[in-house]
Amino acid sequence: MRGLAKSVKNFLVSEDGPTAVEYAVMLALIVIVCLTAIQAVGTNANSKFEEIRDALT
């Protein structure tokens, strides 16, 4: 447990910490954009499939 605490302390003190945080924020934004795009494509595809289903019946 002390090793983990020491590792976290070293991570926070080192200059690599802010860089890692920047990458994490950038990754989070990319994931949000991708999920939004996937949701939009899914909604459009669902409406097209419903349109085709209604045309066939």
pLDDT given for residue 9 in this prediction: 77
pLDDT given for residue 16 in this prediction: 64
pLDDT tens by residue, 27-53 = 999 999 999 999 999 999 999 999 999
pLDDT given for residue 4 in this prediction: 86
pTM above 0.85, yes or no: no
CA atoms within 13 A on the CB side of 52: 6
